Amino acid sequence: MDEKSLSRLELNKVLSACADYACLDGTKAIFAGLSPSTDLAEVRDKLARTAECVKLLFRYGIIGIEYFPDVEDLLVRASKRSTLSCAELRQVNLLLRSARIAYTSINGVDDGEIIAIKGDSARIYYDKNLEDDITEKIISDDEVSDHASAALFSIRSKIKSLNERIRSKLSEYVTGDTSRYLQDGIVTMRGDRYVIPVKAEYRSRVKGLVHDRSQSGATFFIEPEYVLELNNELVALQIDEKEEVERILKALSGRVGDMSERLKTDMAVLAEIESYYARAQYSYAKKCVMPQVNKRGYINIIKGRHPLIDPRKVVPVSLELGGSYNFLLISGANTGGKTVTLKMCGLFCLMAACGIFVPAAEGTAVCAFDDIFCDVGDSQSIEDSLSTFSSHITTVIDMCKRATAGSLVLIDELGGGTNPDEGQALAKAVVEHFLKIGCRGIVTTHFTPLKEFAYTVDGIENASMEFDASTLKPLYSIKIGLPGASNALAICRRFGMDEEILDRAVGYLSEGGKAFENIVRRAEESRVEADKKLAEAASLERSLKEKLAEVNRRIDELNKQRERLTANARAESRRIINERTAQAEELLDEIEQLFKKEELSQGDLIKARTLKNKLKNSAYSNDESQRPVTNYIEATAENLHVGDDIFFVKLQSAGQVLSINAARGEVEIVCGSIKTRCKISDLQKINSPKKSAKLPHKGEVRVRNANPSTPTQPQLEINLLGMTVSEALYEVDNFIDRAVMSNLEEIKVIHGVGTGKLREAIARHLKGHKNVKSFRLGKYGEGETGVTIITLK
C-alpha cells in the first residue's frame, strides 16, 4: 500500500498503541513492521484470531503471554555446544516457562469456536523436565544449588567440614599463647587460603608460608605450616567443585542446544500469539467491534469513533459507501468534522486489514481494498520548492495513475489552493476519472459547482456535516443526500469580524452562489427541524407503545386472576354443596332409623327434633335480603365515639370503643375478652343497618354495597348454655369451621359449670378434631371452668 497514505491516516499510531499492550520485544517488532493485508481470506483470518483472543482473555481469564527476553543468540551458542552461564540458563528457562503456560492455558479452554489460536499453540514446544531441572539446580544468576548433583553435594559438604577444621586449628593461635604474636585476633584469607595477621617483629616465631604484607609493613599474613596441607586439600576440593559446576552447566546447556531450533520457533509463535492478544486488549479498551469484511468495495460505518480522538470528546459518525453510489462528496462548515470523517473511513479499513477491531457499533462493514490513497492537510515542501497546491496536485496525479477499481481514494479539499474556477473544474474532471475507473472514494469540498455536479452525475452522492444555524456550532454528524452550506461568513461573524467587512463580502457574492447557498442553508435548517420533530414523534410513539404494553399486561394479569378466583369459587361451592349434601343424607338416615322403631321414647323424640334442627341449619338460604349487611367506613378522631362498634384490622375482629385519646390518635377497645390500645388508623367504624329501616315496596329495587373486599365480622366466641350434648357438639363444629375460614387463631366456647357433662363431652370431642391445635379451661377473668379456650391450627 501507499506508505505516505498510511502515514497520513496515522495507522502507525494505532499500531504503536497496540504494541503498548505487548511485553515481548518480538511482538513489538511485529507491530513495527506490520502492513495491512489486501487478501480477504487473510484479513478475515486475522480478525477471527483477534476475536478468539478476546474470548480467551475476557471470558476465560487467560493471562496472556508471560515475559521472556530475546534469547536467540544464547540458543545459537548452545546449539554450537557452548556452555551457558547460570544467568543465561535462567533466561532460557523464562522462555520454557512462557511456552508451557501459553500451551496449557490455551488448550485448557474447552470452546469449539477457538480454532486458529489453538492451531498456533500446537506449534509450541516445551520441556517441563528441563524447566524443572534449571529451576531446581540454578538458584540465582551466579550460583548452582548444592543439590544439583550428588557429587556436588559431597564436595561442598567436604569443603564445609574442612573449613571448620582449618578455622578450629587457626583459632588456637588466636586464643593460645601465640596470640601475642598477632596483630589482630582474627582469621582472614589471602588468595583462597586461610592466613593469620602476624606482627612483623614476630614473623620468625610463626613457621609457615608468607602470602602478603600490609602497606605499612607492620603486619605479615602467614599461612601456618600445620594448616598448609589442609589449605592444599581445600584448594583441591574447590577445583573439584568448579569442575562439577561446569559439568552441570554444560549438561544443561547441551539439552538447550538440542532443542534450540524448536525454542526459536517458540519465540516466533509466542510473539505472534501475543500480537493478537495485544490487538484484543486494544480493541477491548477502545470498545471496538469486529467489522464485517468484503472485497466488493462496500463500507458501512455505524456510529464510528476515531480511535485517536479523546473518547470523552469524540462524536460518533455513521456513513455508507459502495452500495448505490461509489463516491461521497462531503461539504459543510469548517471544523465540522469532514476531515476527521474522511480519515476515519480510511483508518477503519486499514485497522481491519491488520486484524484490529474498529471503534464502532455492531453491523459495521469495511472493505479489504487493494490500495488506499489519501491526500489530507498541507504537504508543502520547502526543500522541494513545492507550494501547497503543487504538493497537493502532485499527490492527486499519482492517485490518478495508480488507482484501480479495488482502490479507496480519500481527498481533502480537492482543487483547493488555486483559482476557484480552475480548482472546481479540475475537481470535477478528477472525480469523473475516478468514477470511470470504478474505485471508491470520499472527497471534501467547499466548491458550490462541485456540489451541483454531484446532483447531475451517477455514482456520486452529496453529504453534509450538520451545523446548528442558531448557535453557529458544528454538530459533528454526517447527513447523506444533501450538500452542506459552508457558513463561512456566519462563522466570521461569530468570531467577531467587523459587520461592514461582512456586508461588503456579501455584496461580492455572485447571485447564483448566494441563491444556492441560501437554498442549501434553508433546506438544511428544514431538515434539522424535521429530524427533531421526527425524533420527538418516535420518542412519543415508543412511550405510548410501552404504556399500551403495560396496560395489556395488566389486563392479562387481571383476566388470569379473575379466572383463578372463579375456578376457586366454583371448586369451593362444589365442596360445600357436597359436604352439606352428605351431612343432610346422614341426618335423614338417622331420622329414618329412629322412625323405624315400633315405639319412640321421649329421648328418641328429642333426638329427632335435634336432627331436624340440624337439617334446617344446614340448608342454604339464597334470600340475600335476609342477610344483614355491614358497612365499614374509615375511622377518624371526629367520627369515632365511645361505645361505637369497630373492626380491628390487625386482629381481624370486631369490638367496641371504650375510650378515645384524640391528641395521641389512640383508642382503647375491647374485642371479645381482649382489651387493648391501638391507633385510630388501624380501625374501621361499623355502620350496622338500622332495624327501623323500611322494607322495600313490591317492585322496588334496593341497592346495597356488595364489594367482595369488604371484611366480614368474625365471631370470637359461642354460647352453648341450655343445649344438649349432641346439639352443642354440632354447634362447636360449625363454630370451628367458621373460625378457620376467618383465619382466627384462638376462640372461646361458653358451656357453663353445671354438672360438667357438657365440658367433658366438648373436651373429648376436641381431642381428635383435625383443626384444633390445643385447648384449655379459662383462667381467672376469662370465665374459669365455665369456658374452654381453643387454639386453632
Give the 3-state secondary structure percentages of the chain, helix then strand then coil, rounded to 5.
50, 20, 30
Helices 757-767 & 725-741, crossing angle to 10 degrees? 50
CA distance 502 to 498: 6
* Cβ pair 785, 759 in contact under 8 A: yes
C-alpha span between 426 and 468 (Å, rounded)? 31
Q: Are strands 365-367 and 473-480 parallel, antiparallel or unpaired?
A: unpaired
The number of residues in the chain equals 793
Measured N-to-C along each axis, helices 40-58 and 260-285 cross at an angle, to the nearest 10 degrees, of: 80
State how far the Cα of 670 lies from the Cα of 642, in Å rounded to an integer: 11
One-letter identity of residue 501: I
Give the C-alpha separation, 276 to 50, whole Å. Answer: 5
> Looking at the DSSP assignment, which residues form a beta bridge with residue 103?
none
The long-range contacts involving 100-107, CB below 8 angstroms and separated by at least 24 positions, are 100/126, 100/128, 100/131, 101/63, 101/66, 102/65, 102/66, 102/270, 102/273, 105/56, 105/62, 105/63, 106/56, 106/62, 106/273
Residue 30 phi/psi, 5-degree rounding, is -60, -45
Query: What grid cell was written down for 744?
Result: 382466627
Binding site, by residue number, is 332-339
Residue 484: which of 426, 532, 444, 535 has the closest Cα? Answer: 444
| Annotated binding-site residue numbers for ATP | 332-339
> 481: exposed, middle or buried (C-beta count within 10 Å: 0-12, 13-18, 19+)?
exposed
CB 788 within 8 A of CB 776: yes
Contact 661, 626 (CB under 8 A): no
For the record, the C-alpha cell of 557 comes out as 394479569
Whole-angstrom distance between the N-terminal and C-terminal Cα of the chain? 87
Long-range contact pairs involving 110-114 (C-beta distance under 8 Å, separation at least 24) = 111/55, 111/60, 113/52, 113/55, 114/52, 114/55, 114/56
Closest CA to 241 of 165, 156, 157, 139: 156
Contacts of 75 (CB under 8 A, 6+ apart): 92, 256, 257, 260, 263, 264
Cite the beta strand spans of 540-644 per DSSP E: 631-634
Strands 631-634 and 645-648 turn out to be unpaired
Q: Are 350 and 379 in contact (CB under 8 A)?
A: no
How far are the Cα atoms of 85, 89, 91, 304, 419 from residue 141, in angstroms, in the given order? 8, 9, 9, 51, 72
